[in-house]
Amino acid sequence: MAEAERIIGTPDTPDESGEHTPAGAPAGSGVTAAAGASGTGEQPAQVRSRRGRRIALLFAVAAFAYALDLISKTLVVAKLEGHAPIKLIGDWLELNAIRNPGAAFGFGAAFTVIFTLIAAAVILVIMRLARKLYSYPWAVALGLLLGGALGNLTDRIFRSPGVFEGKVVDFIAPKGFAVFNLADSAIVCGGILIVLLSFRGLDPDGTVHKD
């Protein structure tokens, strides 16, 4: 947990003026987390409002990704499971319902409980770190991770064979690749976005640095 917080960013520290100093900036510099990136010199109340909008975006993205995953899996179980695969693009892409006891893309089938605990830990870390967000792109990235993790964790808890051992519903089957679902896609897209943001030097607190 501490390592995850170190990667995402340390908590903002208030200086004597009551403003929040972004991670890495000296206390008392008068630079707020949001102002550090925009140079607008906003007041603390304005900074909190901007941060609130970013947190709202994170949960909106997470809710959207989670809803799409939940609806798609419900339809797959009701309409496709137990039936022949549906071809979408010839032999290159089809819908084929399977139950996956492993991690994303079918890896690690023997460690279902461990992957369940990891997914739960990821969700807790994202929820805890949401209050430090001052960046819209980071809000989208973490929202995708949160929605995807919630989608697969729901399967782990509520689907057979039992709690924390449930098999995830996968159905997107490209030719020559593992079968996956929309939750897996959200997790991958969120991870790619985080890598791109890191390469650009954009931190979750809204500051930009160059190595």
* Residues classed as catalytic: 170, 184
Rounded to whole angstroms, the Cα distance separating 114 from 122 reads 12
**Separation in Å, CA 177 to CA 71, 94, 106, 135, 171:** 23, 11, 10, 34, 12
> Which DSSP string corresponds to 47-114?
HHHHHHHHHHHHHHHHHHHHHHHHHHHHHHHHHTTTSPPEEEETTTEEEEEEEE-SSGGG--GGGHHH
β partners of residue 86: 95
Rounded to whole angstroms, the Cα distance separating 180 from 54 reads 29
Yes or no: say if 27 and 15 are a contact pair by the CB < 8 Å rule. yes
Phi, psi of 207 (to 5 degrees): -80, 155
